[in-house]
Amino acid sequence: MHILMVTAAGLVLLGAFALGGYLLNKTAGLADGASYFIWFWLAASVVNGIFGTVRAGIPVINEIGALIPIFGIPAAIAWYLAYRM
């Protein structure tokens, strides 16, 4: 359930980054916001994994497995928005 909630939060945050980029720069703002989101989401996902390992006592291998969908799904959509559109 935690993976689903964090992934959904990432998608909402991606929407906020894309909207913010669009409002700041009408021509390529959506792509700019999405490309900045990828790096921000990577850092947030790694911090989430470290917190899960240190504070919650979850094994590192489980956190690495959870990192794949938590980072991968929103980042793949952001990559598509940034470089395919």
- Sorted by sequence, the CB contacts under 8 Å of residue 17 that are 6+ apart come out as 33, 34, 36, 37, 40, 78
User: Is residue 2 over pLDDT 70?
Assistant: yes
What is the pLDDT of the chain when averaged over all its residues? 91
> pLDDT, tens digit, for every residue of 4-28?
999 999 999 999 998 998 888 877 7
At residue 82, what is the residue type? A
Sequence ranges of the domains in the chain: 2-83
Q: Could you give the 3-state DSSP secondary structure of residue 25?
A: coil
**What band does 60 get if pLDDT is binned at 50, 70 and 90?**
very high
Do 25 and 36 form a contact (C-beta atoms < 8 A)? no
- What's the pTM value of the predicted model, to 2 decimals? 0.88
